[in-house]
Amino acid sequence: MRSVSGVLNRTVLVICGLIIAAASSWLLASGLSAGHSWPDAAPYMATAQDRVDSIIAPQAHWLLPTVALVSVLAVIFGLVLLAMQVPRKAAASPLRLSDSEGVLLATIAPDVLSQALSERIQDVPGVKRCTVWVTGSPSSLWVQAETTMSQDCEVEWAVAELRSRLEDDVTTSLGTSPRQVDVLVRLERSSSSRRFSQTVTGQHSPQITGNGDDA
């Protein structure tokens, strides 16, 4: 199953948020002359009357190359951060089947097993689409399925059926039951019956003119 790393995102947000908040707090404190009411901090702050260029000018010799370097790093980091938002697949290694003496019998690509399981699940009534990912080893397989189901189907029955089918199929094909079977259920976005009912309730009922004996 594809996912985005929340831990990485949150770490980056905290670090950048702290840097931005600290820099802007210094500007605010300097601009509001906080040094007057807090003399201990006054040496580390500028005064409200200082011009921006008068603060930058004494440090221009090292500030310019530093800002250039930081800008390039910011662009690179921004691109990496954007790329990190693309959901990534979980790591999956080839499944190696061995006999009781440890001799390698066969190697199965995880995609082959995933595809076979997906096709089996799509036969379950009510399941419109299904994608399966497998990861781990044959003796400890982790199966994750993302299924799209019809809104009108018996979801509880369909889920029970597809979970037991996934477990049985893995047990039959690999000889051991899977370590974990995770199923993410999504409902089909549009439903023709709902649109139909909305159309009917949204209109006035047809007017009856005359009496039924005219016909």
88's tokens: 């990534």
Q: How far is CA 168 from the centre of its chain?
A: 29
Q: Identify the residue among 34, 42, 84, 116 touching other proteins (CB under 8 A).
A: 84
At 129 the three-state DSSP class reads strand
Q: Which of residues 99-128 bind other proteins (CB under 8 A)?
A: none
If binding is defined by CB under 8 A, does position 55 make contact with other proteins? Answer: yes
Which residues inside 149-178 make contact with other proteins, applying CB under 8 A? 151-152, 155-156, 159-160, 163-164, 166-167, 178
Of the residues 44, 59, 68, 125, which one makes contact with other proteins according to CB under 8 A: 68
Give residues 185-214 in contact with other proteins (rule: CB under 8 A). Answer: 185-187, 191, 194, 197-198, 201
Q: Residue type for 196, please?
A: F
Separation CA 165–CA 187 (nearest Å): 20
210 C-beta neighbours (distance < 10 Å), count: 7
> Tokens representing 195?
């649109």
Q: Which of 87, 181, 193, 199 is nearest to 140 (CA)?
A: 181
Rounded Cα gap, residues 115 and 132, in angstroms: 7
Cβ nearer to other proteins, comparing 67 with 106: 67
**Helix/strand/coil (H/E/C) assignment for every residue in 180-208:** EEEEEEEECCCCHHHHHHHHHHHCCCCCC
**Beta carbon of residue 85, minimum distance to other proteins (angstroms, whole number):** 5
Query: Which residue of 14, 41, 109, 112 would you call a contact of other proteins, by CB under 8 A?
Result: 14
- Smallest gap from Cβ 105 to other proteins, in A, equals 25
Task: Count residues binding other proteins (CB under 8 A).
Answer: 89
Query: What residue type is 149 in one-letter code?
Result: M
Interface with other proteins by CB under 8 A: which range of 100-108, 116-124, 182-190, 207-215? Answer: 182-190
* Binder of other proteins out of 37, 85, 203, 211 (CB under 8 A): 85
When the beta carbons of 28 and 106 are compared against other proteins, the nearer one is 28
Minimal distance, residue 191 CB to other proteins, in Å? 8
